[in-house]
Structure 1
Amino acid sequence: MKLRDMRHENLNLFLGLFYDSGIFGVVTEHCSRGSLEDLLSNEDVRLDWMFKSSLLMDLIRGMKYLHNRGIIHGRLKSRNCVVDGRFVLKVTDYGFNELLNAQSIIMEEEKPEDLFWTSPELLRNLSLRRRGTFPADVYSFSIIAQEVISRSAPFCMLDMPPKEIIGKVKEPPPLCRPSLSVDEAPLDVIQIVKQAWSEEPDRRPTFHDIFKQFKSITKGKKTNIIDSMLRMLEQYSSNLEDLIRERTEDPGAEDRQASQT
């Protein structure tokens, strides 16, 4: 099977399928830090721009590899990107639509909040949505990029119910997209993201284009995730010192906590 031949640092390894007692499942490699969605919502993890750009570059590399081999993801979202113990992002659930179609499995209707990453043209065409397209994957990337850059849920700054947001994305005008600030990322990066969520699929860049642009913004250097991790460890160490100091200043705190449990 084509999916089993996929080997890349930024792809989560596809191990196989199982079908038992009416349950159909996909077996993939376990990544200890959970999904990108989990990482972004974990307030204990500090994400500076270097860390964020490294995660985005991992995503771009993984999707570029897939598209170069003719694989449409079709279901790309932050919960389908997993992070391993070294903070390397890996794309998972790729080619899932093809598997579902091959097995004639009909998925339940998705909730509006699960459609935030779905491109406008796929929202309007259910049969196209079941297959996915290369430009639609690029749109999905742009919404994940908004999540990473602003470290917030998709479209959260619009303060509207999910159903209303999806309705506006599906039927413009006016164009409904998240908003990004230059305080959160370089202007060049924000421009790439805005191109990627273009209303017209053929106006969206390919992952090859995005990779080249992103690489030039980072001046060809691989972002140093180790520096970011060291800064995080320093922060953890500082937090631990503060906690020890608080316990030392109030020695009865631990006893009170023990008596409550």
Structure 2
Amino acid sequence: MEQSLLEEASLMVQLRHPHVVLFMGASIKYPDLFLVTEYMENGSVREALDRRDFKIELEHIRRMSIDACKGMSYLHSKKIIHRDLKTHNLLVDRFWNVKVADFGLSRAIGDTEGTMTACGTPSWAAPEVLRKDHYSYKADVYSFAICLWEMITRKRPYAKLKPYQVVISVATDGLRPEIDPSVVPPNFEKVIKMAWADTPEVRPDFPKIREILEEMKCPVPQY
């Protein structure tokens, strides 16, 4: 536990970006083991989606997704794979800016180096991760697609399946969350399907996804 926390702190101290949660300090001496980060007033994206009183428009989703892309693009530029990207690890500040958090499973790799360690949360993990194949930055892109699907539908992926069923179905059968065309607009559906493609090389990188989202037109909420 101490070693794991030390590794996470050592990674976070190197990171400075408006869309990555700011690391402020740590206690790595047992039994006082903890990290200190900036305070994110609105909790996680997942918590916001679970709030019945929280109304989220497509334009909000577009902007929040762009924020996540900016944070992830920065991490990848630093040769870091997050490996556990999910809505629980996308935190929201008082101004509803989204920042990437929780680097406990993150790993720095070289340009051509990959990894084969199975990690992350099954419902968000890419098929190549679940199969324990060689994987790269594109595994995070797959996880982002699941997050984007969540933000639009407000549902939890594979809610009726047990973790082992998710692993088998996603890794070998190509299962993905259901896309209801009455809920998910075509422009968002296109991004989601590109990002969760079974073949990693087909998935766009985060700068490309950001570009697509920035060009996307969504109705501006009128309050």
State the TM-score bracket (shorter-chain normalisation): 0.7 to 0.9
Q: Contact conserved, 2:122 with 2:166, CA < 8 A, in 1? A: no
1:56 aligned onto 2:65: yes
Q: 1:149-191 deviations in whole A, cap 9, x for unaligned?
A: 10111134xx43343222111222xx20012233323312211
Q: Secondary structure at the match of 1:171?
A: helix
**Higher helix residue share:** 1
1:166 aligned onto 2:175: no
Runs of 4+ aligned residues of structure 1 deviating over 4 Å after TM superposition are none
Pair 96,16 (structure 1): closer, same or farther in 2 beyond 3 Å: farther
Q: Secondary structure at the match of 2:54?
A: coil
Q: 1:52-103 deviations in whole A, cap 9, x for unaligned?
A: 222112111211122122221111111111111111111112374349xxxx
Pair 97,71 (structure 1): closer, same or farther in 2 beyond 3 Å: closer
Q: Secondary structure at the match of 2:13?
A: helix
Q: Contact conserved, 1:135 with 1:202, CA < 8 A, in 2? A: yes
Q: Secondary structure at the match of 1:19?
A: strand
- Provide the rounded CA distance (Å) in 1 between the counterparts of 2:167 and 2:55: 31
Pair 96,13 (structure 1): closer, same or farther in 2 beyond 3 Å: farther
- C-alpha RMSD of the superposition: 2.7
1:125 aligned onto 2:119: no
After the TM superposition, which residues 232-243 of structure 1 pair with which residues of structure 2 at under 5 Å, given as runs? none
- Range with greater deviation from structure 2 (177-186 or 69-78): 177-186
1:44 equivalent in structure 2: 53
1:134 equivalent in structure 2: 137
Q: Contact conserved, 1:73 with 1:137, CA < 8 A, in 2? A: yes
Number of residue pairs matched?
A: 205
Q: Contact conserved, 1:72 with 1:94, CA < 8 A, in 2? A: no
Please, what TM-score do these two structures have when normalized by structure 1? Answer: 0.70
- Code of the aligned partner of 1:189: F
Give the greater-gyration-radius structure (CA). 1
Structure 1 unaligned runs (5+)? 100-108, 232-261
* Shift of residue 143, structure 1, vs aligned partner: 0.7
- Provide the rounded CA distance (Å) in 2 between the counterparts of 1:191 and 1:65: 24
- Provide the rounded CA distance (Å) in 2 between the counterparts of 1:95 and 1:69: 16
* Shift of residue 138, structure 1, vs aligned partner: 0.4
Pair 16,145 (structure 1): closer, same or farther in 2 beyond 3 Å: same
- Code of the aligned partner of 1:46: K
Percentage identity across aligned positions?
29
Structure 2 unaligned runs (5+)? 1-9, 109-117
